[in-house]
Amino acid sequence: MDILLAFWDIVLHLDRHLAALLAEYGTWIYVLLFVIIFCETGLVVTPFLPGDSLLFVSGALWAAAGMDVRLLAATLIVAALLGDHCNYFAGRFFGPRVFRWEQSKFFNRRALDHTRGFYELHGGKTLVIARYLPLVRTFAPFVAGIGRMHYPRFLSFSVTGAVLWVVSLVGAGYYLGNLPFVKQNLSAIIVGIIFVSLLPVVVEAIKHKLRAR
């Protein structure tokens, strides 16, 4: 219970914790950002990590604390790309047999099926669109690997999606982070971003239950 409360406190006050880490550890904060973004995008068992909100907060801290923007952008983009590649090659290794795996606490079968549906609808563009959709973002390169998408095609979509995702959310955090209202209500805004980013997943889960009935 204490662990859950501590985790929720970090989510609610992500700006405070990240700012404190930046003040205490300096450049080591970039290592932390790299690890979180890599795990959120590259490991199918950690799609719950706060990718969108973390990028936004990074932009806000860039505005407030003067983070090195070139190092920040390089760290986040490289982490997102390496995460994509980790999932892509994992998908190629395991192949279509993953669709026979049972649901477990470590593997979200519903998110996998949902991402497969995205590919049927949007094709390779899913790798770009999925960057803004939690859970789908994590499974998109995995499904691309399962489907044996040609690597040059995968790479072009992966790079495009990673750059757009990082630049847009970090840029939004930087721009809005300079506004007094945002500075005074950053925690509430972060919670709002998390809620909005999870909304498509919640809506899809409700639709799935309704169809099952």
Domain of 95?
2-212
- Confidence at residue 76, expressed as pLDDT on a 0 to 100 scale: 92
What is the number of domains present in the chain?
A: 1
Is the whole-model pTM more than 0.85?
A: no
Residue 120 has pLDDT above 60, yes or no: yes
**Residue 163 predicted with pLDDT over 80:** yes
Q: Tens digit of pLDDT for each residue in 43-89?
A: 876 666 767 777 887 887 777 666 788 888 899 999 999 999 998 99
The 3-state secondary structure of the chain reads: CHHHHHHHHHHHCHHHHHHHHHHHHCCHHHHHHHHHHHHHHHCCCCCCCCHHHHHHHHHHHHHHHCCCHHHHHHHHHHHHHHHHHHHHHHHHHHHHHHHHCCCECCECHHHHHHHHHHHHHHHHHHHHHHHHCCCHHHHHHHHHHHCCCCHHHHHHHHHHHHHHHHHHHHHHHHHHHCCHHHHHCHHHHHHHHHHHHHHHHHHHHHHHHHHHC
For residue range 100-119, list pLDDT tens digits in order: 655 555 455 666 666 666 67
